[in-house]
Amino acid sequence: MKKRIFALLVTITLFLPACGGSQNVKLTPLNEVTVEAADFVPEEYENLTFTRDEFSVTVPENLAHCTLREVGCFDLEYGDELMRWWIPDEVWDEQYVTTWDDTYAYAFSSIFDRPMEGTGEWYAAVWCTGTVIYAQENGWDHFQHSAEGLDRSYNVNTDDLETTVSLADGELTLRSIVELAEKFASDWLSQTDLQISLRPQYLYICTDDNMEKFAKVIFQTCWNGVPISSVVRQYPDSATFTLSIPSAENGYTGDIELCSVTATMTSGEKLDFFGGGHGSVEPYDPGTVCENLVSLSTACDILSETISSYGAQEIKDVALEYRLNIIGSDQPEDTYRFVDEETGELLPDRSGVQLYRTSYDLYDAVPYWAFYAKDKQRRELIFYVNCLNGEVQIMDNQAR
């Protein structure tokens, strides 16, 4: 089907991605980068130290600089099916099903909302952008629990998952909590044709307002096995992270994070919340496989030379991640659902109550090496090295 690019406020030119880099940066064949990253032993660097002697980072053999698109009309295809998948048959009752109106950013989706005996509710909603909201009992409150209310924070990739914590049904290992959340996420994905995968990244132990302990698992959405950066920029005006953010001046294009789903539980038996985030992505243009790119060792050299003003940094974790840059929108006209109040004309999602992060937004997906120095939620310090050209971006969310 012929593609129609929809641009708002300014004319947005869509550049198809192609791998390459600065002539001043050493590029290495992809197969060599893959082997090195799988068993990476850091050397000694002037401004970098590492908490581990060895890191293992998976680099796909077909890693590409590509174009992705935000999923659209997911609610139309899966709305009833995915609500019923979560809500037990004995709980389901059509009288508790309602529909959002078009004053909400993810309008038109059906929702199931039924109070439970005692406290909490059974809740299910399927969003057009490719995610859901599932809750039971106090799950909504657990999902919305603030970052400041954490008892303990763990990095799933680096911390000891055999550590035990206390929840309602006794002592549980971090691994058993992660595996419960991971299995639910995998089972949920299997109900759809989404081509993403979901990777647990953080695990938080929290205490709610009723003094009940619960666990919260934060996922990253992955494309072709590569996590998509989910860290929220606390200071958009940062002089060290120069990628532009969406605004009226640039037609709401620019660099964004893609927050993924969250799972919460008070025991090792079941989840009380699953979902949220910014939705899912699908392939739009495969781009070009990166035959040559900046290797992990070269990225370390570049970073050590670049961050001297920050002083020596201790790196806790290293990852390959995609960063997304909105470059426009391509929504099929037969999926327009918002109505112009004056003309009655059907409008695309971007003409509704939300100007970006809408169905069918297009993302330029660029691979970066991500060096995590500090990973406390909303206080992160992460150094990104562009795999294509060696450019460094510093995400500094430390309190100012």
Across 280-298, average pLDDT: 97
Q: Residue 311: left if φ>0, alpha if ψ -120 to 50, beta else—which one?
A: left
Amino acid code (one letter) for 47: N
Amino acid code (one letter) for 380: E
Q: Residue 325: left if φ>0, alpha if ψ -120 to 50, beta else—which one?
A: beta
Helix, strand, coil percent content, the chain, rounded in steps of 5 = 20, 35, 45
Q: Are strands 121-126 and 110-115 parallel, antiparallel or unpaired?
A: antiparallel
Q: Which pLDDT value is given to residue 116? A: 92
Q: Which pLDDT value is given to residue 16? A: 32
Q: Which pLDDT value is given to residue 15? A: 33
Phi, psi of 346 (to 5 degrees): -75, 135
Q: Which pLDDT value is given to residue 236? A: 85
> 313-331, pLDDT tens digit by residue?
999 999 999 999 999 999 9
Mean pLDDT lowest for which of 6-20, 204-218, 271-285?
A: 6-20
Q: Which pLDDT value is given to residue 13? A: 31
pLDDT band at 338 (very low <50, low <70, confident <90, very high): confident
pLDDT at 333 over 50: yes
pLDDT at 179 over 60: yes
pTM assigned to the model: 0.91
Mean of all residue pLDDT scores within the chain: 89
The conformation of residue 108, written as its DSSP 8-state character, comes to: T
Q: Is 188 helix (H, G, I), strand (E, B) or coil?
A: helix
Cα–Cα distance measured from residue 248 to residue 257, given in angstroms and rounded to the nearest whole number: 18
Kindly state the helix (H) or strand (E) to which residue 383 belongs, with its residue range: strand 381-386
Q: Which pLDDT value is given to residue 23? A: 52
Across 19-37, average pLDDT: 83
Q: What is the 3-state secondary structure (H, E, C) of 33-100?
A: HHHHHHCECCCCCCCEEECCCCECCCCCCCCEEEEEEECCCHHHHHHHHHHHHHCCCCCCCHHHEEEC
Higher pLDDT, 201 or 168: 201
pLDDT at 400 over 80: no
Higher pLDDT, 337 or 148: 337
Q: Hey, what are 182's tokens?
A: 């991971």
Q: Are strands 226-227 and 170-173 parallel, antiparallel or unpaired?
A: unpaired
Percent of the chain surpassing pLDDT 90: 69
> 243-278, pLDDT tens digit by residue?
999 998 999 999 999 999 999 999 999 999 999 999
- Contact 113/140 with Cβ under 8 angstroms? no
- Contact 37/57 with Cβ under 8 angstroms? yes
Q: Hey, what are 87's tokens?
A: 């809500």
Q: Which pLDDT value is given to residue 103? A: 55
pLDDT at 147 over 50: yes
* Domain spans in the chain, listed from the N-terminal domain onward: 28-69+287-328+357-396, 73-128, 133-284
Percent of the chain surpassing pLDDT 70: 91
Across 356-375, average pLDDT: 94
> 120-130, pLDDT tens digit by residue?
899 999 988 99
Higher pLDDT, 180 or 15: 180
Mean pLDDT lowest for which of 67-71, 209-213, 291-295?
A: 209-213
Helix axes 30-38, 296-306, angle to 10 degrees: 80
Amino acid code (one letter) for 197: S
Mean pLDDT lowest for which of 26-40, 130-144, 335-349?
A: 335-349
